[in-house]
Amino acid sequence: MSLKYAILGLLDDRSRYGYEIKQQFEQAMGELWPVSYGQLYPTLKRLKQEKLLSVRTEQGKKAIDKHVYSLTSEGRLAFQAWLKDSSKKLQTSIKDEFSLSLFFFDKMDKQDLHRDLEDLKKASLRKLGSVRDDLALQQGQNGNGHPSRRLLLKKMELYLEAEHRWIEEIQREIPKE
């Protein structure tokens, strides 16, 4: 349900075609929130069926026609209602494969585990570094980047720090045996 409102919101400003929606969203959100065509185009189709969007075909210089989407008034209302709705949640899910594997902690080779932990820690720090670089860049071109990009990057930074701390905690707690 998120892509739906991302689309509606982008079209609230002006009409756009599919390719453009993806570019714009990912440019602002960065690598933090990728959108695949395999999801985008079917969603546009569905939103059209739901009468939240209308389409017109633009024959530009290009051979391939662009399908330019606009919000219907119904679509605009739907977006505004969503934006105002206060039930939007932060979804902090901690379910992932590595965490599951800890469930079988006692069956694990402790040396393998500590090797994996080292790798995960390195990966975490690498990501953290690149996020911080991005944040610094954002700060540099002051107020130029999309404000939500800064906030998202900040969120990512805080979460990666938490991840890193957690890994170190596991390293401390689990004997190398």
Partner DNA sequence: CACAACATGTAAGATGTTACATGATTGA
Partner DNA sequence: TCAATCATGTAACATCTTACATGTTGTG
How near is the Cβ of 15 to DNA at its closest, in Å?
Answer: 11
Cα distances (Å, whole numbers) of residue 176 to 73, 76, 109, 115, 116: 63, 58, 10, 10, 12
Among 1, 63, 64, 81, binds a second copy (CB under 8 A): 1
Any contact of residue 36 with a second copy (CB under 8 A)? no
Report strand pairing: 16-17 vs 53-58.
unpaired
How near is the Cβ of 22 to DNA at its closest, in Å?
Answer: 8
What token pair was written down for 112?
Answer: 């393998």
Q: Using the rule CB under 7 A, give the single segment among 65-73, 110-118, 121-129, 145-153 that binds DNA.
A: 65-73
How near is the Cβ of 63 to DNA at its closest, in Å?
Answer: 3
Any contact of residue 164 with DNA (CB under 7 A)? no
Partner touching 148 among a second copy, DNA, none, CB below 5 to 8 Å by kind? a second copy
Partner touching 66 among a second copy, DNA, none, CB below 5 to 8 Å by kind? DNA
Q: Using the rule CB under 7 A, give the single segment among 62-70, 79-87, 105-113, 123-131 that binds DNA.
A: 62-70
Partner touching 81 among a second copy, DNA, none, CB below 5 to 8 Å by kind? none
Any contact of residue 41 with DNA (CB under 7 A)? yes
DSSP string of the chain, one letter each residue: -HHHHHHHHHHHHS-EEHHHHHHHHHHHHGGGS---HHHHHHHHHHHHHTTSEEEEEE--SSSSPEEEEEE-HHHHHHHHHHHH-TT---------HHHHHHTTGGGS-HHHHHHHHHHHHHHHHHHHHHHHHHHHHHHHTTTTS-HHHHHHHHHHHHHHHHHHHHHHHHHHHS---
Binding site for a second copy (CB under 8 A): 1-2, 5-6, 9, 12, 25, 28-29, 32-33, 82-84, 86, 88-109, 112, 115-116, 119-120, 123-124, 146-148, 151-152, 154-156, 158-163, 165-166, 169-170, 173
